[in-house]
Amino acid sequence: MGILTVTLNPALDRLIEIDNFKVGTMHRIFDEDKTKVSPGGKGINVSLYLEQLGVPSTALAILGGLTGRMLQVRLRRECNQTISTSFLYVNDETRENFTIVDRKSNTITTVNLPGPFVDEKHFKLFMKKYKALLSNTTICEIGGTIPAGMPLDVYKDMVRMAKEAGALTVVNAHGEPLKYAIESVPDIVKPDIRGTKKVLNRELKTIGDYVQSAKELLSMGVKMVIYSFEMKNDIVATSDWTYLFKMRGEIKSVNLMGTGDAYIAGLIYAINAGKDYFESARYAMAAAIADEMTESKDVGGIEEVEKMMSLIEMERVSQ
């Protein structure tokens, strides 16, 4: 029995460092260290971080074309210690996400390509694979965008199926897919509010808005709600408590990409180890901080994460 991460729309992440990046000009890269290629997509990232924490998982994903093949080879070659893979292959190309980091001007530019089209036949086959893998799953992590062709309410069915299989469900999504996932009442929800700070038609501006939104989700039956608040803080709520998790002091932040996925991995690590939700939220934030301090997707192992826990302080939020 184990952990299953699901990535419907994975990506091959390409990070390029260019000093003084300028739109409309040609930039040549001579130093190989200035470019990095890594498998990506929320679920795959969570599996990668879990591996760093010594926790085995199975990554289920839809791949396509040569990019998909490259992602597969990278994932298998570089991360074959504890990650099992199960792929469904489609005709179109897996997407690529380009990130241009300019350390001189302190800017990040991202270009995300579209993912493949998944037709009805492949969608049904994917759901069959998903169901088969659920038979051996204790924690199921679902998150990220949905590729063209797949129904927007697919997360509703996926959460329901995971719960029927007896798995704890963790959802990390945004917009319509999140809305549908909530209809099946996942155990843990971390709304992705990058871009639009709105969940179930509620605008999130003040801390009170976040708390009210969390209470709304909890009243539906969700056991734990996590909101990223003002970049570096988290509002975490269960039916028994609501806390603001804050970072004590300042850290040298070199990377904010993938920290949300590191958070989920830290959370799953702790829950899988039998920690309660409060302690798990501390592990989760510590994993995100550890990741933020490294340039690549790396939390540096469980010892490093546990060191970061001393940087977190918790403040009870009145209900």
Q: How far apart are CA 93 and CA 63, in angstroms?
A: 7
What backbone torsions phi and psi does residue 65 show, to the nearest 5 degrees? 65, -165
Q: Measured from the CB of residue 101, what is the shortest distance to another protein in angstroms?
A: 32
Query: For another protein, which is the closer residue by CB, 51 or 234?
Result: 51
Question: Within 108-147, which residues bind another protein (CB under 8 A)?
Answer: 125, 128, 131-133, 135-136
Task: Name the residue nearer to another protein (CB basis): 116 or 177.
Answer: 116
Nearer to another protein, 94 or 259 (CB): 94
Question: Judged by CB, which is closer to another protein: 89, or 278?
Answer: 89
Are 46 and 268 in contact, with CB atoms under 8 Å apart? yes
Among 3, 2, 8, which residue's Cα sits nearest to residue 173?
8
Q: How far is the CB of 281 from another protein (least distance, A)?
A: 30
User: In the 8-state DSSP scheme, what is residue 314?
Assistant: E
84 or 233: CB nearest another protein: 84
Q: How far is the CB of 319 from another protein (least distance, A)?
A: 43
Residue 314 CB-density burial (10 A; 0-12 exposed, 13-18 middle, 19+ buried)? middle
CA distance 103 to 202: 36
- The answer to whether residue 197 forms part of the interface with another protein (CB under 8 A) is no
State the binding string over 55-74 for another protein (x if CB under 8 A, else -). ---x-----x----x-----
Residue 52 CB, nearest approach to another protein (Å): 16
Output 125 or 207, the one with its CB closest to another protein.
Answer: 125
Question: 64 or 147: whose CB is closer to another protein?
Answer: 64
Cα separation values, 132 from 29, 165, 181, Å = 45, 10, 20
The least distance separating another protein from the CB of residue 3, rounded to whole angstroms, comes to 14
Q: Which residue has the tokens 């899988």?
A: 272
Contacting another protein within 74-93 (CB under 8 A) = 76, 80, 82-91
**Nearer to another protein (CB atom), residue 140 or residue 188:** 140
Burial class (CB in 10 A: 0-12, 13-18, 19+), 274: exposed
Residue (27 or 128) nearer to another protein, CB: 128
User: Which residue, among 62, 72, 159, has the nearest Cα to 116 in the 3D structure?
Assistant: 62
CB 227 within 8 A of CB 210: yes
User: Measured from the CB of residue 181, what is the shortest distance to another protein in angstroms?
Assistant: 24
Q: What minimum distance in Å lies between the beta carbon of 114 and another protein?
A: 19
* Nearest distance, CB of residue 131 and another protein, angstroms: 7
Q: How far apart are CA 243 and CA 316, in angstroms?
A: 4
For the chain, where are the E strands, in sequence order?
A: 2-7, 11-17, 35-40, 57-64, 83-90, 95-102, 107-112, 137-143, 168-172, 188-189, 198-199, 202-203, 224-229, 233-237, 242-247, 312-316
User: Beta strand pairing status for 95-102 and 107-112?
Assistant: antiparallel
How far apart are CB 49 and another protein at their closest, in Å?
17
Question: Contact at 8 Å (CB) between 9 and 115?
Answer: yes
- Tell me which residues touch another protein (CB under 8 A): 58, 64, 69, 76, 80, 82-91, 125, 128, 131-133, 135-136
